[in-house]
Amino acid sequence: MRVACINASLVSLLLVTAVRADEGLLFQPDMLRLESYEPNTVGYTKDSDDVGFMDFKVSVKYELFPDLVSKLSSDFKAYFAFTGRFGQYIGTRESSPVVGKRFNPKFIFRDIARSGATHAPSGGDASASKSGADEYFDFAYAHESNGQSISSRAEYDQARTNSERPEFANDNISRGWDYLEFTWKNVPSYTENHKLSTYLTLQYFLQRGLLQDAPEEYNRWENDPEGKPRKSVNGVRGIVKYQPKYKFSGWFSDPKYALIYETGYQHIFKYNTIRAEAGIKIQKLPVTLWGRTGYGSDLALYFKKMSSYGIEVEIGSF
């Protein structure tokens, strides 16, 4: 079952909700606010099998039923999160189209094992408390797709005929999965001079789901020798991120280094993906250079190994 229309509606709803109401026109003292989930980014990406494009990602979470959940335990929280990724091909494709890359709604139940803060962090999942140790466990049910529509050989052949370049039709092949996810994040005790964050994420892709039903992944009619199921290349991911608190001058401060490793659980360690990041704040503007090699840079061709590089600005979650 394709959910492109549902995903588009979710994007619209979240963007509208994220606009802060004028306090003089709307008074809601108990109104819950959206927070960052994954880093929100705008940048440039170049995949080895594609032309370059402007790459932007919006990722937010919203706390669900806080009063009810807190009665179970003050360490429990429930969230609805949404992440959307889009690419605009400015000057590299006719009419500079915007192509949906990823639509990822998620329901999360969080168990906060330790918190070094005296209050809840406000910077989203990519930030932590200012001192002490921080640790949580997330259990989630999620759907992920690229919001596209091609699901047969006839549709694909027609798209190749009509595309500016035949290979551009690959962007429109429909992919989608429901999955279960477990995430562990740990920030050990540290000083205000540095922060070391570690993440471990495990995913299990379902054969039948509540939103997707049967998964849409590699089809035999694609006749690609690299074709393989999603669980071959994704499902086990580890992240290490180091952030020293350092000011180089009036222009540069707070460098960040991250290393991300991912593999599939069907043939673990056979198909590997590595991404390295190096970032710094330039006049408080967080800028990151990154490079990656492996699988899943684009959901439409998640099974193909490719190299990628880019630059991005993180908004509110550096």
pLDDT tens for residues 242-253? 988 777 777 888
Beta bridge partners of 260: 239, 275
8 A C-beta contact, residue 293 and residue 46 = no
Indicate the range of 58-62, 70-74, 272-276 predicted with least confidence.
70-74
Q: At 262, is the pLDDT very low, low, confident or very high (cuts 50, 70, 90)?
A: very high
Question: Rounded mean pLDDT of 212-230?
Answer: 94
Q: What are phi and psi of 108, to 5 degrees?
A: -125, 135
| Inter-CA distances, 171 with 50, 90, 120, 187, Å | 10, 16, 40, 38
**Res 1: pLDDT:** 45
Report the distance separating Cα 120 and Cα 99, nearest Å: 36
Q: At 106, is the pLDDT very low, low, confident or very high (cuts 50, 70, 90)?
A: very high
Does position 102 have pLDDT exceeding 50, yes or no? Answer: yes
Does position 132 have pLDDT exceeding 70, yes or no? Answer: no
**Res 204: pLDDT:** 98
Q: What share of the chain is helix, strand, coil (3-state, %, to 5)?
A: 15, 45, 40
Does position 128 have pLDDT exceeding 50, yes or no? Answer: no
Report the distance separating Cα 55 and Cα 45, nearest Å: 6
**Res 195: pLDDT:** 86
Question: Rounded mean pLDDT of 130-152?
Answer: 87
**Res 191: pLDDT:** 63
The mean pLDDT of the chain is 85
Beta bridge partners of 180: 141, 204
Does position 12 have pLDDT exceeding 50, yes or no? Answer: no
Higher pLDDT: 248 or 233? It is 233
pTM of the model: 0.83
Does position 74 have pLDDT exceeding 90, yes or no? Answer: no
Residue where the block lists tokens 């889009």: 86
Q: What are phi and psi of 43, to 5 degrees?
A: -170, -160
**Res 30: pLDDT:** 57
Report the distance separating Cα 18 and Cα 318, nearest Å: 19
Question: Rounded mean pLDDT of 274-302?
Answer: 95
Domains of the chain, by residue range, sit at 4-21+31-232
Indicate the range of 73-87, 126-140, 233-247, 270-284 predicted with least confidence.
126-140
**Res 248: pLDDT:** 75
Indicate the range of 5-14, 163-172, 246-255 predicted with least confidence.
5-14
8 A C-beta contact, residue 145 and residue 120 = no
